[in-house]
Amino acid sequence: MRYLLQRLLQFAIVFFLVTFGVMVFMRIGMNKPGDPALTMLGGTVRLDQAEAVNARYHLNGNVFGQYWFWLEKMFRGDFGVSVQQNTTVAKYLSGRVLVTIFLGFYAVLWALIIAIPTAVYQAYKRDSRFDRGGNFLSFLFVSLPALVLAPFIIFLFVVKLGWFPRTGEKVMPWDDLGAHFRNFFLPVVVLTLPLAAIFARLLRGDMIQTLQSDFITLASAKGVPPGRVLWTHALRNSLFSLLTSVGVQLGGIVGGALVVEQYFNMKGMGSLLLTSILSKDLFVVQSVTAIVVAVVCVANLVIDLLYAVIDPRIRHARALT
């Protein structure tokens, strides 16, 4: 419990520091009279107009006042407005967040579905042909960023075979399940493969280590069937690095999906962030990064809890450091 509180506290500190840092960072250089609204709104806006916006959104106080104004609204569920797009951030996001969630969810899910059996079997049949083949493939895919993988996949499946549409439509599963999968398939493949390779490599390493430990030998000696030893005892005790990595990759999905979004013209969170940072749409950048940071922090916290569920020893071990 104490450990949990400690983690919570740390995440809170990180959350505030990062969101505050992003806010300050976005405002660097905005010190002309009328800023930040003047910069945000652009060249030909008149000073009095900019000042009106500054006043409206409390952009002219000191940074802490500005931070508080934004933070307090944020916690009440008001993510602010996109001053440039004349829409609320929540509305701006709503059309896009699902794309990123689906991409991320499918990618992680499929990566795990591919990686876990492969890695377990690799570790079990260590140094077999399968293991070496798997190792080689995972090496290849770890070295294949989406940037390089996507053109090949598009060339093959879209240009040559024509099996999938060129641009991914945001069809939701509840509207048309078939179209949903057809549109999301290729982007997800591009995201999944490198992810699966990373997961498989990690899990294989941990599994090999676990398989050498005494309790596995003991379990086998006691006559527990090998399948059971492998899939419950050993796997369960080998999940730490994998889980940590899943937590880390979740945040990376927002960024990683950006390249995929560019290739398939899917408008998700990544491209929204790209344009907002570029056009200095302050509230959008602040609120979206805050959401991303919160998601990453919560994911890590959940994974920490999962550790404890999987292995009580972790609680004590971690509490010490």
Partner 1 sequence: MTATLTPTPTPTGTVVYAKARRKVPQLGWMFGAAWLTVLGICAFAANYLPFIRSYDAKIQVNGRAKKYGLGPGWTAWFGTDNSSHDVFARCIYGARQTLIIGIGATIIGLTVGGLLGVLAGYYRGWADRVVSIVVDCLLALPPLLLALLLIQRSDQIKESITAIAWLTRSEEIMITLGILSIAPFARIVRAQTLALRERDFVLAARSVGAKPRRVIWREIMPNLVPAMVTVAVTGLGILIAAEGTLAFLGLGVERPQTWGKMIDASRDDLGKAWWAAIFPCLFLFLTVLSFNFIGDRLARKFDIREAAV
Partner 2 sequence: MVRLRQRSSKRIIMAAVLSLGLIAASCGKKDDGNTTNVTTGGTEATLVPSGDTTGATVAAETTVAADTSPSTTPAPAVTPGGEITVSGEAEVTNPWTPAAMQCDSYCQERARSFFDPIAAIGDDNKVHPYLAESITPNADSTEWTIKVRSGISFTDDTPVNADAVITNIQRSGLGLLLAAQLVDLAKVPTAADPAKNEFKIEKVDDMTLTIFTGKDGDPAQPLPWPGFDFYLTGQLGLIASPAWLTAVDTDPTKATAPIGSGPFIVQSYAPRDSLVVAKNPNYWQKDANGVQLPYLDKITFKVIEDSTTAEGALRSGDIDVFADSNAAVIADFVDDTDFSMAKQEQFGETNYLLIDGAKPGPYQDARVRCALSMAVDRQELIDLTGGGLLKPANSVFSPGQEGYLEDNGFKIDQDIVGAKALIADYQRDNPGPVAITYGHTADRTGDQVADLLKGYWSQIGVDTTVETIPQDQFITNALFGAPNFFIYGWRQHAGFKVDEQNFWWNSKSYAPDGGLSLNFDRIQDPIVDSSLATARSDPDPAARQAAAEAINKEMAKQCYQIPLSYALWAVLSTPKLHGIGETTMPDGTQARDGAGFGGQFWVNALWLDQG
Residue 231 is classified by DSSP as: I
CA 128 to the chain's CA centroid: 34
Residue whose CB is less far from partner 1, 85 or 244? 244
d(CA 73, CA 69): 6
Q: Is 232 in the site for partner 1 (CB under 8 A)?
A: no
| Residue 208 binds which of partner 2, partner 1, none (CB < 5-8 A, kind-dependent) | partner 1
Q: Tell me which of partner 2, partner 1, none is bound by residue 132, counting a contact when its beta carbon lies within the kind-specific cut-off of 5 to 8 angstroms.
A: partner 1
Give whichever of 143 and 167 is closer to partner 2, judged by the CB atom: 167
AA letter at 203: L
Task: Let me know how many helices (H) and strands (E) the chain has, helices first.
Answer: 15, 2
We find the least distance from the C-beta atom of residue 184 to partner 1, in angstroms, to be 20
234 binds partner 1 (CB under 8 A): no
Q: How many CB atoms lie within 10 A of CB 32?
A: 11
The correct pick among 52, 109, 140, 218 for binding partner 1 (CB under 8 A) is: 140
319 touches partner 1 (CB under 8 A): no
- Interface with partner 1, residue 256, by CB under 8 A: yes
Number of other residues whose CB lies within 10 A of the CB of residue 268: 27
Contact set with partner 2 (CB under 8 A):
40-46, 49-50, 52-53, 56, 81-88, 91-92, 95-96, 158, 162, 165-167, 169, 265, 267, 271-272, 275, 278-280
Tell whether the torsion through CA atoms of 252, 261, 289 and 300 is positive or negative: negative
165 in contact with partner 1 (CB under 8 A)? no
Backbone angles phi, psi at 238, to 5 degrees: -115, 10
Residues between 21 and 40 that touch partner 1 (CB under 8 A): 21-22, 25-26, 28-31
Residue 49 token pair: 């107009």
- H helices of 27-86, where? 37-41, 47-56, 63-75
Among 92, 296, 304, 307, binds partner 1 (CB under 8 A): 296
